[in-house]
Structure 1
Amino acid sequence: MKLRLLFACSLLASVALAQKEVSITLDDVPNVGLYKKDNNRSLLLENITRLQLPVAIFSNEGNLYQNTSAADNYKALAQWIGNKNITAGNHTFNHVGYSNVGAKVFEESVEKGEVITENLLKQQGKTLRYFRFPFNDMGKDSSMHRQMKTFLQNKGYIVAPFTIENSDWAYSAVYEDALLHGDQAKAKTIGSTYVSTTLALFDYFEALCLKQLGRPIKHIYLCHDNALNTDYLPALVEGLQKKGYAFITLDKALTDDVYARKEYYTGSAGFSWLYRWEPDAEKRKALLRSEPENAALMKAYETLQKKN
């Protein structure tokens, strides 16, 4: 009995002392409208450089033809891809949803969206390896899932998963609206809430990993190139460091064999891979319902969308 107790205590101690790790990933790069406001600079990239933070980005090359000159936007993307902290990936040309447009249109957007990124990487002696589905919509059913996974694998792509996200796109919309109306106090509250709720989500998913898998995993956090992360990603990084997290590349995160687990979910919803690995649909729904959320923020986002 004592030996069993000692073994259990030892196991718990080893789990507690295990290094917590996370890879930060950014979708929808480059946000050229935001850069235009900042004299064609990405202040988010500057923060990432200052923090020496390894980050994987997923680009929509269609963004290069928006808001200002294509030449300036090309330079912006080149600065991201040329940065030593950055791993570059494809996010389609124009951020189309696979379930909505079907295989032919989606495949064309994948191929059109890799041209510039691939060329910039070749100049550095690197290859384009990662792809992330817009909205993490991998198809309406298992047939669509299989068809596009086969297409991407044949092109040499690795589909980038994620385990944690916090609807930062909704936070950022409300945050930017507060700034637009000169309400600095409201904007600060939104930014601080984004950081605190994201940290709470990390705690939730860490506990879920211990319950489902019996161990910590190398997490992948999904967020976006937006004004909110430009201003508050450093605070989130600081908060995660205080919780004992080390920041790792996407390459290293995917060495965790958890990412080889079978995915049981074959619908179009874009939720965490921790839910996709759950074979029981009812348990999956229960996990989704128990996830911490900020109902007030989402209501504010929906109200803003109706106004616009």
Structure 2
Amino acid sequence: MRLLIILILFLAYTAQAQKKIAITIDDLPTVSKVYRSPSGRLQLTKKLLSHCTTFQVPAIGFVIGNSLLANHQPDSSQINLLKLWLDASFELGNHTLAHKDYNLISFSESKEDIIDGEQIVKNLVQQRGKPFRYFRHPYLRKGDTQAKKDSLEHFLQQRGYLEAPVTIDNSDWLFSGAYDNAILLGDTTLATQVGKQYVAYMLNCVAYYEAQSDSLFNRQISQTLLLHANTINADFLGELLAGLKQQGYTFVSLEHALTDNAYQSVDHFYGKGGISWLHRWALTRGKRGTFFKGEPEVPAMIDELANRTLNLPSR
């Protein structure tokens, strides 16, 4: 009996230790109401990279091309931030030029946005001898009609891109908006409260999508987590990564995560929503209603603070 208990505990530990997650970070170089100056953006970038380096996270960042321009010309200070990512051996991908919502534009306009998003970052990456291969859909929207979805998928394949899926969707951007406002109000206590709630919320999101994985595949797949290069992750990504590690996760590259055959699952979903690939696969398999219940909600206080209009004195 004792040997049986030891075996069960060992198998449980092994299963937990085999959990894998890829960290993907959108909206590079930075998106923040706090870190807005060149020196501030540099500070935010260094913080993000420090967290990833400390926890040996092979992260990938997705770049919005417009963020590399000032007055329609290349902005060296912004481009230098991407060089820091490359210097740290992280991969970069395309997040379009202007982050347009595919539901609101034509396929032709979307193609142009993708191609224009390559102009600076693709050359920068390839000069380092690194691959430029992944595309991240703005708002996770792949098309609200079958024709638009099919057209975009075919174009990306022709262009040599691999789609960068997201299995763990969340609202980190909303928490960061609340965190930005707390800092701008000078309320450090409130900012800390928002940060702590953020880490707890994100770990709850991970647990929710773990349950979705179990329900759909009867196992834990290699997960892909969506984050943004924002203020709250600059300050709290380390705590989040520590929490994931404590829960048994190993950090892997997006390339490694996509070797999980779950990512070969059929996705027939099209619609206005930008949703997790786990939910795309579930809807394709006919899952409805109760299957999707239990997704963590953003607290009303966070939503209100994020959307609050601040009347701050000009600086």
Amino acid at match of 2:23: I
1:55 equivalent to 2:59? Answer yes
Gaps of 5+ in 1: 1-5
Q: For 1:87 and 1:46, how far apart are their aligned partners in 2?
A: 15
What SS does the aligned partner of 1:139 have?
coil
- Counterpart in 1 of 2:164? 160
C-alpha contact (below 8 Å) 2:17/2:249 kept by paired residues: no
TM-score by length of 1: 0.89
Gaps of 5+ in 2: none
Give RMSD over aligned pairs. Answer: 2.8
What SS does the aligned partner of 1:290 have?
coil
Residues 273, 307 of structure 1: alpha-carbon distance in 2 compared, 3 angstrom cutoff: farther
Q: For 2:178 and 2:302, how far apart are their aligned partners in 1?
A: 9
Deviation per residue, 1:159-192 (Å, 9 max, x gap): 1101113201000001000000010011101101
The partner residue of 2:103 within 99, 112, 116 is 99
Runs ≥4 in structure 1, deviation > 3 angstroms?
9-18, 37-40, 66-69, 279-289, 305-308
What SS does the aligned partner of 1:215 have?
coil
Superposition deviation, residue 148 in structure 1: 0.4
1:76 equivalent to 2:75? Answer no
Superposition deviation, residue 10 in structure 1: 10
The partner residue of 1:191 within 192, 195, 200 is 195
Residues 28, 284 of structure 1: alpha-carbon distance in 2 compared, 3 angstrom cutoff: farther
Higher alpha-carbon deviation: 53-62 or 37-46: 37-46
Residues 158, 69 of structure 1: alpha-carbon distance in 2 compared, 3 angstrom cutoff: closer
- Counterpart in 2 of 1:245? 249
Superposition deviation, residue 78 in structure 1: 2.0
- Counterpart in 2 of 1:113? 117
What SS does the aligned partner of 2:282 have?
coil
Identity of aligned residues (%): 34
Q: For 1:35 and 1:276, how far apart are their aligned partners in 2?
A: 36
What SS does the aligned partner of 1:278 have?
helix
What SS does the aligned partner of 1:225 have?
strand
Amino acid at match of 1:73: Q
Deviation per residue, 1:27-48 (Å, 9 max, x gap): 0001176362645512222332
Higher alpha-carbon deviation: 204-213 or 100-109: 204-213
Superposition deviation, residue 291 in structure 1: 0.8
The number of aligned residues is 301
1:215 equivalent to 2:219? Answer yes
Amino acid at match of 1:225: A
